[in-house]
């Protein structure tokens, strides 16, 4: 009897994202590609997608160059490359216009990516219809991913029927995406068996993170019930919030009687050594040791491995702020573990009241952020739900698709109180095409749209990060941050460059303050252009008693959510409860409501500047 063959896919991108904040540089990726190929055991390698490109931009690297050079060796070796994309959200955390989504698949195929693993954070088939269509039109293999979660509504039959819906809409393959590793092994087997009985020839791939410890048993159940491909990680970035290790899965499958390709261990050790070298170079500074541990406490909240890297960083920052508040108010500090348990408990409280969204990007971040804000606000004696961010409201209101379960009446009442409207139409209709707008912007800035319009795609997909990359600000901030992490007591101060020079200053003229924007005549066309001079009063004098609006959390300050909107200005009259500004923190936009009425006397913080929790941001008289 011929043994069933199981193929293996290496999650090299996801290994990094599940461990920390950044990915290897393109030169590092090119170095590790050849020994990965020489290992001889992988039929697929996950090369890009998810947060990969945004992270490239954050440390000042062009993601288009990275993808082309990184996929090239695998293309030449006949190993399929795959990417992860977020359906309506494309390669970012918020919805993407239809024309940008369509261009993405065309560009990624031309850059060397073979397979698009498409998932929707709410498991809405309608949100993935365009992904499957555009992937196939662009020449990619369209794979539909079931975002696995455990709830009274997410039954075995639900997932089998969901796979059926994906296939009817054009998915050519199915993936069980167990992003938190909480899917129970027997259930995984039953779901795969149900899909296989209906579709004997479709390729089924299993992807699981190892955090709570189910993934090895789940992979075995998947193999026994008809899976074709299993995703794996490898040391030094397997286990923990990452994936089950290649060597373990390989040995288990051999023992169970499956046919799997042999591993070239000399090449394996070379990949392992190089990966550790990249960690020692700079990536290790952004990897929390906690993310290298397995944690069965996550069985309850079900938070995914892919976001645990950012979660521990967020937790560390919020713990410091919270303990500082405790100290000012005569209370005892708490530990990170204590805050973590409080967070996990609150996630379990929030999830059913939000209609059981699967805890996958971006909705895992939304639920986690709300839970964390609830904990912090309640620790300070404030009410639960007092810091519901705008991204979460968009999810709750149906602007990214319909939730599977009902929303708690308390949340509905809060929405009605704030004048918010629930939406039941096609979410894509809320986000009109924008490629022409960004093409025009690039023309005005003197920027090339790039080979196959890949630079246009990058700008339209990640506008803020792309501008920071083009100006050089992203690289400068990354190097500054890295220097602090490497030598906290001896920060490196670099000489100013055009991109690091001030683009605006405050000027006092006869007691009146003005914001003056500056341009430099010797800046290159690659730098982000600013207006020559623009004057705008940012304060007003007053003999009244001043009151201050403070930032409720640490993050970046903005007067508006979108550049097209108009923010408050000096002289505006505001009422208690009005939204006056926003703070971007933990990948979401948090509205700041005024707790006083009066006239805006001064805006104390520049747009885009970092603010601390409880920092005065707006003066009211």
Question: What DSSP line would sit under 290-344, residue for residue?
Answer: GGGS--GGGGTT---GGGHHHHHHHHHHHHHHHHHHHHHTT-----HHHHHHHHH
Mean pLDDT check: name the lowest of 35-44, 483-492, 591-600.
Answer: 483-492
User: Is residue 300 very low, low, confident or very high in pLDDT (cuts 50, 70, 90)?
Assistant: confident
| pLDDT for residue 393 is more than 90 | yes
Q: What is the pLDDT of residue 309?
A: 56
> How many other β-carbons are positioned within 10 Å of the β-carbon of residue 320?
14
What would the two tokens of residue 317 be?
Answer: 């920052």
How far is it, in rounded angstroms, from Cα 299 to Cα 214?
9
CA 124 → CA 25, 96, 141, 145, 146, distances in Å?
35, 16, 20, 11, 10
> How many other β-carbons are positioned within 10 Å of the β-carbon of residue 303?
26
| Per-residue model confidence as pLDDT tens digits over 64-109 | 999 999 999 999 999 999 999 999 999 998 899 999 999 999 999 9
Whether residue 242 contacts residue 212, with contact meaning beta carbons closer than 8 Å, is answered with: no
Residue 552 lies in a domain: yes
| pLDDT for residue 535 is more than 60 | no
Q: What is the pLDDT of residue 337?
A: 84
β-bridge partners, 517: 504
Residue 610 lies in a domain: yes
Q: What is the pLDDT of residue 112?
A: 98
What's the half-sphere exposure (Cβ side, CA atoms, 13 Å) at 272?
14
What would the two tokens of residue 424 be?
Answer: 């039941």
Whether residue 147 contacts residue 209, with contact meaning beta carbons closer than 8 Å, is answered with: no
Residue 269 lies in a domain: yes
Q: What is the pLDDT of residue 521?
A: 45
CB-neighbour burial class of residue 161 (10 A; exposed 0-12, middle 13-18, buried 19+): middle
CATH for 109:
3.20.20.70
Residue 364 lies in a domain: no
Q: What is the pLDDT of residue 532?
A: 35
Spell out the residues 6+ positions from residue 255 whose beta carbon is closer than 8 angstroms to its own: none
Rounded mean pLDDT, 11-40: 95
| pLDDT for residue 496 is more than 50 | no
Instruction: Tell me the residue range of the domain where 282 lies.
Output: 7-292
| pLDDT for residue 224 is more than 70 | yes
End of a domain among 264, 292, 320? 292
Q: What is the pLDDT of residue 323?
A: 87
| pLDDT for residue 246 is more than 90 | yes
Q: How many structural domains are present in the chain?
A: 2
User: Of 383 and 174, which is predicted with more confidence?
Assistant: 174
β-bridge partners, 178: 208
Query: Which residue from 21, 13, 100, 11 is spatially nearest to 481, judged by alpha carbons?
Result: 21
Residue 504 lies in a domain: no
Mean pLDDT check: name the lowest of 78-82, 124-128, 349-353, 498-502.
Answer: 498-502
Q: How far is CA 191 from the centre of its chain?
A: 28
Rounded mean pLDDT, 4-18: 94
Q: Is 503 helix (H, G, I), strand (E, B) or coil?
A: coil
How far is it, in rounded angstroms, from Cα 349 to Cα 364?
14
CA geometry: angle 524, 561, 588, nearest 5 deg:
100
Q: What is the pLDDT of residue 409?
A: 95
User: Is residue 595 very low, low, confident or very high in pLDDT (cuts 50, 70, 90)?
Assistant: confident
Of 228-232, 340-344, 359-363, where does the model show the most confidence?
A: 228-232
What would the two tokens of residue 357 be?
Answer: 């969204």
Q: Is 522 helix (H, G, I), strand (E, B) or coil?
A: coil
Residue 400 lies in a domain: no
What would the two tokens of residue 371 be?
Answer: 């839970």
Rounded mean pLDDT, 210-235: 96
Specify the pairing of strand 115-118 against strand 80-85. Answer: parallel
User: Is residue 423 very low, low, confident or very high in pLDDT (cuts 50, 70, 90)?
Assistant: very high
Q: What is the pLDDT of residue 191?
A: 98
End of a domain among 292, 316, 340? 292
| pLDDT for residue 491 is more than 50 | no
| Secondary structure E strands in 503-613 | 504-509, 512-517, 535-537, 547-550, 555-558, 573-574, 579-585, 588-593, 598-603, 610-611
The DSSP secondary-structure symbol of 425 reads S
CA 183 → CA 210, 367, 605, distances in Å?
11, 19, 46
Rounded mean pLDDT, 483-494: 64
User: Is residue 588 very low, low, confident or very high in pLDDT (cuts 50, 70, 90)?
Assistant: low
How far is it, in rounded angstroms, from Cα 149 to Cα 99?
31
First to last CA, the chain: 84
Mean pLDDT check: name the lowest of 18-32, 113-127, 462-476, 498-512.
Answer: 498-512
The DSSP secondary-structure symbol of 89 reads G
β-bridge partners, 115: 82, 141
| pLDDT for residue 415 is more than 90 | yes
Q: What is the pLDDT of residue 533?
A: 34
The DSSP line for 166-210 is: HHHTT-SEEEEEETTS-S-HHHHHHHHHHHHHH-TTSEEEEEEB-
CATH for 550:
2.40.50.100
Residue 497 lies in a domain: no
Note the pTM of the prediction, 2 decimals. 0.80
How far is it, in rounded angstroms, from Cα 193 to Cα 223?
10
Of 158-172, 333-347, 480-494, where does the model show the most confidence?
A: 158-172
Residue 261 lies in a domain: yes
End of a domain among 269, 292, 315? 292
| Per-residue model confidence as pLDDT tens digits over 441-479 | 999 999 999 999 999 999 999 999 999 999 999 999 999
| pLDDT for residue 219 is more than 90 | yes
Rounded mean pLDDT, 355-371: 87
Spell out the residues 6+ positions from residue 495 whose beta carbon is closer than 8 angstroms to its own: none
What would the two tokens of residue 229 be?
Answer: 């491909």
β-bridge partners, 90: none
Q: What is the pLDDT of residue 344?
A: 87
User: Is residue 528 very low, low, confident or very high in pLDDT (cuts 50, 70, 90)?
Assistant: very low
The DSSP secondary-structure symbol of 389 reads -
| pLDDT for residue 216 is more than 50 | yes
β-bridge partners, 593: 579
How far is it, in rounded angstroms, from Cα 537 to Cα 508?
10
Q: What is the pLDDT of residue 302?
A: 79
| pLDDT for residue 512 is more than 60 | no
How far is it, in rounded angstroms, from Cα 511 to Cα 195?
73
| Mean pLDDT (the chain, rounded) | 87
Rounded mean pLDDT, 580-600: 79
Query: Which residue from 63, 21, 40 is spatially nearest to 466, judged by alpha carbons?
Result: 63
| pLDDT for residue 493 is more than 50 | no
User: Is residue 582 very low, low, confident or very high in pLDDT (cuts 50, 70, 90)?
Assistant: confident
| pLDDT for residue 523 is more than 80 | no
């Amino acid at each position: 009897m011929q043994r069933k063959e199981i193929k293996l896919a290496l999650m090299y991108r996801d290994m990094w994202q599940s461990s920390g904040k950044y990915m290897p540089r393109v030169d590092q990726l090119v170095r590790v590609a050849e020994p990965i190929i020489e290992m001889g055991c992988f039929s697929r390698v996950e090369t890009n997608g998810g947060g990969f490109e945004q992270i490239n931009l954050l440390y000042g690297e062009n993601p288009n160059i990275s993808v082309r050079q990184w996929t090239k060796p695998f293309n030449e070796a006949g190993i399929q490359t795959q990417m992860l994309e977020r359906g309506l959200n494309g390669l970012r955390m918020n919805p993407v216009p239809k024309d940008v989504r369509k261009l993405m698949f065309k560009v990624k195929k031309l850059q060397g990516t073979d397979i698009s693993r498409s998932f929707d954070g709410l498991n809405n088939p309608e949100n993935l219809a365009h992904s499957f269509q555009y992937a196939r039109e662009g020449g990619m293999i369209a794979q539909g991913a079931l975002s696995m979660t455990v709830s009274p509504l997410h039954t075995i039959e639900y997932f089998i029927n969901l796979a059926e819906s994906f296939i009817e809409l054009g998915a050519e393959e199915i993936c069980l995406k167990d992003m938190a590793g909480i899917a129970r092994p027997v259930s995984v087997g039953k779901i795969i068996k149900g899909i296989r009985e209906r579709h004997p020839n479709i390729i089924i791939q299993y992807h699981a993170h190892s955090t709570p410890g189910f993934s090895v048993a789940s992979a075995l159940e998947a193999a026994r019930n008809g899976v074709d491909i299993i995703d794996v990680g490898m040391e030094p970035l397997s286990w923990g919030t990452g994936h089950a290790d290649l060597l373990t899965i390989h040995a288990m499958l051999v023992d169970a009687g499956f046919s799997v390709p042999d591993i070239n261990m000399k090449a394996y050790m070379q990949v392992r050594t190089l990966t550790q070298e990249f960690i020692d170079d700079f990536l290790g500074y952004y990897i929390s040791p906690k993310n290298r541990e397995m944690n069965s406490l996550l069985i309850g909240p079900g938070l995914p491995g892919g976001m645990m890297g950012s979660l521990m960083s967020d937790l560390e920052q919020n713990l410091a702020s919270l303990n500082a508040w405790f100290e000012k108010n005569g209370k005892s500090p708490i530990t990170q573990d204590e805050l973590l348990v409080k967070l996990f408990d609150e996630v379990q409280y929030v999830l059913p009241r939000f209609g059981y969204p699967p805890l996958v990007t971006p909705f895992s971040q939304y639920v986690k952020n709300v839970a964390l804000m609830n904990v912090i606000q309640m620790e300070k004696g404030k009410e639960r739900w007092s810091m519901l961010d705008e991204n979460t409201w968009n999810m709750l209101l149906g602007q990214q698709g319909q939730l599977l379960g009902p929303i708690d009446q308390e949340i509905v009442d809060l929405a009605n109180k704030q004048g918010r409207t629930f939406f039941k139409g096609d979410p894509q209709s809320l986000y009109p095409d924008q490629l022409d707008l960004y093409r025009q912007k690039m023309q005005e800035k003197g920027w090339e749209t790039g080979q196959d319009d890949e630079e246009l795609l990058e700008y339209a997909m990640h506008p803020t990060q792309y501008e920071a990359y083009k100006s050089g600000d992203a690289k400068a901030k990354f190097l500054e941050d890295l220097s602090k992490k490497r030598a906290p007591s001896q920060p490196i101060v670099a000489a100013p460059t055009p991109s690091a020079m001030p683009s605006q200053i405050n000027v006092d003229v006869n007691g009146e303050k003005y914001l003056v924007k500056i341009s430099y005549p010797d800046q290159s066309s690659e730098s982000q252009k600013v207006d020559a001079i623009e004057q705008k009063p940012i304060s007003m004098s007053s003999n009244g008693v001043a009151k201050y609006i403070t930032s409720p959390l640490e993050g970046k300050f903005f007067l508006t959510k979108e550049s097209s909107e108009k923010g408050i200005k000096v002289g505006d009259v505001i009422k208690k409860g009005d939204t006056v500004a926003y703070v971007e923190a933990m990948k979401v936009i948090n509205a700041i409501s005024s707790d006083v009425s009066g006239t805006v006397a001064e805006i104390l913080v520049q747009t885009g500047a970092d603010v601390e929790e409880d920092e005065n941001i707006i003066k009211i008289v």
